[in-house]
Amino acid sequence: MTLLQSFILGVVEGLTEFLPISSTGHLVLVQTLMRIEQSQFLVTFDIAIQVGAILAVIVFYWHELWNFNLIKKLILGFIPTGIIGFTVFKYIKLLLNNPFIVVFTLFVGGIIIILAEKWYKKKLSEVGVSSHIGYKEAFLLGLLQTLAIVPGVSRSGAIIVGGMFMRLERKALTEFTFLLAVPTMCAATLYSIYKHPEVLTAGGNLSALLIGLATSFMVALIVIKVFINYIRTRSFSVFGYYRIVLSIIAFIILSNVVS
């Protein structure tokens, strides 16, 4: 991986990590188009540069992260992700080499987001929504987060859609999605590096990782601010349509590349 490729992937990660469009899916597609060779370092890179985006969350929500009740909810939400993730990731990571799986999950996820938004608007007008995320909701949202192990599903997308069906208020739900990423992605990064520490010492790998991480951090700072302002008055449906259009375009391009 060149440093320019690392920078581009950092931009992609920062732009997509907190939107319900799958950062991992975008990384897989972009890496395929740039013809970056699959390797253990690439798997670690895809996980580790997400820490840059997570650092942006810590900067924005530093004071909230010291709330003991919130910490307990984040731990509770992380438990199912940790158990399921560490158990099945060694099998799921084999899917990271297949961009067509990403195309499929992007398309299906887009349809689900559009349908969920229609249902949410109907319930909003009938019975309203709640801004309170209790321990039960935190655990269920953490359980839904495990779906993002499959490339293209989207961690934030799974949580947001699930939270909409729980009739949770958009802003509270989205901010909890941001915060739950902190223990999740930090643990995933540390685990990946622990299992394969040699990938950081190979020539140029550490520099590429640091550039990708720093870039994703700076881009994510902007995205978080813009996204929070966006969801106050806007629908999530646009992300569903985006996923569908992207999946169709990606399928056409990848079919030509593979053939």
The predicted-structure confidence for 2-18, as pLDDT tens digits, reads as follows 889 999 999 999 999 88
Domain count, the chain: 1
**Phi and psi of 135, rounded to 5°?**
-70, -35
The predicted-structure confidence for 143-199, as pLDDT tens digits, reads as follows 999 888 887 888 889 999 999 999 898 888 889 999 999 998 888 888 777 777 776
Give the integer Cα–Cα distance in Å for 181 and 20: 13
Give the integer Cα–Cα distance in Å for 32 and 212: 17
Give the integer Cα–Cα distance in Å for 72 and 97: 36
The predicted-structure confidence for 38-87, as pLDDT tens digits, reads as follows 777 887 888 888 888 999 999 999 998 899 999 999 999 999 988 887 77
CB 29 within 8 A of CB 251: no
Domain assignment of residue 190, given as a range = 3-258
What would the two tokens of residue 184 be?
């999740």
- Asked if pLDDT for residue 259 goes beyond 60, the answer is no
Neighbours of 210 (CB within 10 A): 17
Q: Which segments within 136-175 are labelled E, that is strand?
A: none
- Residue partners of 26: CB distance under 8 A and separation at least 6: 12, 13, 15, 16
CA end-to-end span of the chain:
24
pTM: 0.87
CB 81 within 8 A of CB 11: no
